[in-house]
Structure 1
Amino acid sequence: MIRPTSIRRALAASLAISALLLSACGSDPAPTSSPSAGASSAPATMAPHDELEAPPTTAPAAEQDSATAARRFLTTWANPDLSYGQWWPRVKPLLSPQGQQDYAAVDPANLPTLTLTGKPRVEASSVATAVTVWQPTDLGEFGVRMSRTSETAAWLVAEVTFPEGVH
C-alpha cells in the first residue's frame, strides 16, 4: 500500500523537477539575474533520498492493537477441548478471508494448549497494513501474521507460525 505522505513527496519532487526543466527550456537562453520560482523551490520540496526509500513503520497504537488481536486469537484458537462446532464460530471472525480458507478444515483437537508467557513483539512490514506478532508461550514463540484492509481497519490473522518442534 502506498502511503499518502509518499505520494505527496513524490508529487512535490516531480513538480519541482518539472518547474526546473520548464525554466531551463525558456525562449531566452541567456541566464537571468533573478532565479525562477520553480527552481528556487526545488530543494525545499524534494525529500532526501533516504526519506523516499525508508519503509513505513507501524504506529505505536497500531502495534498495540495488533498485539492485542494476536493474543486474543491465540487464546481463542488454542482450545483443543472444544468441538469444531464450538471452536470455528469463535475463530472465524478473527481470521482474514485467506486465513478462513486455510484454517476452515482444522480440527481443534489437533491444536496445542498454550499459555501466553510474555510480552508480544511486533515486527512491522514495509506496509502499514501488515505485521507479524511474535508471542512467547510455554511452548515457544508463535508467529501470528496479521493484515488489515486499511490503516484504521481491524487486524485479522492470515497465518500462524509454530515454534520449531511444535506442530
Structure 2
Amino acid sequence: MKRIFVVAITVIALAVGTWIGWPRDGGPAGDPTAEVSPGVGAPGSQDDFDNPVGTPDETTGDAATTEEVDGQPGAGEPAVEVTAEPEFDETAPTEPVEATWDDAVRKAARDAARATITAFASTDKAEDAWWADLKPLLTPQAQPVYKDVDPRLVPVNEVTGEPKVTDETSTLLAEVAVPTDIGRYTVLLTRADGAAPWLAEQIRPPEES
C-alpha cells in the first residue's frame, strides 16, 4: 500500500512538472538556443543591408528616401533652384547710326566747341564748379587730362566771335576754330556715330606768332 502511494505521488509530480514547463504558444519555453528571426526594418537587421537608403527596393522598385526636414529636400532628392530668364531690351539699337555732314551737324559741332571754350574760360569759378561744367563736354579719354588743370592758370577769359568748322574730313572728327580774347583756340571734337553728341578731345591754345 505504501509503495502504491509513493508511485502515485511520483506520477502526479511528473505530470505537474511537465504541464508547467510546456510552452503556451506552441514552442519550448525558455529555450536559449531557439532561433529568433530579426523583425523587418529592425535596427541591425538584414533589411538594413539589403535595402539601404537611396537604393531601389526589390519588391516595389522605389528608392528608399528620408523624409523632408525643415523644408530641406530629403536624401536622394536633388535641390533645384529655378531662376528667371534675363530680360533684354529689344528697343536698343543693334548697329551704329551712319554719320554724315550737313548744316545741322556743323551747327552742332560749332555749338559744342563754343560751350567747351566758354566752360574752359570760366576761371572766376571755384575749381570744383569749373570742373563740374567742363567735364560733361569732354570725352572719357580727355577728362583725366584736364581734371587736374588749375583754372587760375588758364589764360583765356571769354569767347569773342563765332566758331567755324575748319576740318570735316572725317564724319566722326571735326576741328572747330573759336575766337577768344587772347586768340583763336582750336577744339578737336569727336562722336561715336551719327546719333551721338560731339565731345571735345583736345583744347588747343592759339599758336604763337
Q: Normalization by structure 1: what TM-score? A: 0.61
Kindly tell me: are residues 161 and 111 of structure 1, through their superposed partners in 2, closer, same or farther at Cα, counting changes over 3 Å?
same
Equivalent residue number for residue 161 of structure 2: 118
Indicate the residue corresponding to 1:107 in structure 2.
150
- Contact 2:186 / 2:204 at 8 angstroms: preserved in 1? yes
User: How far apart, CA to CA, are the structure 2 residues paired with 1:92 and 1:103?
Assistant: 8
* Paired letter, 2:121: A
The alignment status of 1:65 with 2:108, answered yes or no, reads: yes
RMSD over aligned CA atoms reads 2.3
Residue 139 of structure 2: aligned partner: 96
Which residue number in structure 2 is paired with residue 152 of structure 1?
A: 195
Offset of 1:121 from its aligned partner? 1.4
**1:161 aligned onto 2:161:** no
| Alignment equivalent of 1:137, drawn from 172, 180, 203 | 180
Aligned to 1:23: none
Larger Rg: 1 or 2?
Answer: 2
d(CA) in 1 for partners of 2:134, 2:144? 12
| Residue 77 of structure 1 pairs with residue 141 of structure 2 | no
Partner Cα separation in structure 1 for residue 203 and residue 177 of structure 2 = 10
Distance across 1 between alignment mates of 2:129 and 2:163 = 27
Matching residue's letter, 2:104: A
Deviation at 1:114, TM superposition (A): 2.6
Residues 87 and 115 of structure 1: CA distance in aligned 2, closer, same or farther (over 3 Å): closer
Q: Deviations over 1:115-163 (max 9, x none)?
A: 3222211023432111010011221110000001111211100001111
- Deviation of 1:57 (Å): 6.8
Matched-pair contact (CA < 8 Å) for 2:172–2:191:
yes
Structure with the larger helix share = 1
Distance apart, 1:103 and its partner CA? 0.7
Cα distance in structure 1, aligned partners of 2:149 and 2:123: 11
Q: Provide runs of 4+ in structure 1 moved above 4 Å.
A: none
**Residue type of the alignment partner of 1:135:** V
Q: How far is 1:89 from its partner?
A: 1.1
Paired residues, what number? 114
User: Given that residues 57 and 126 in structure 1 are in contact (C-alpha distance below 8 angstroms), is that contact kept between their aligned partners in structure 2?
Assistant: no
In the alignment, residue 161 of structure 2 is paired with which amino acid? G
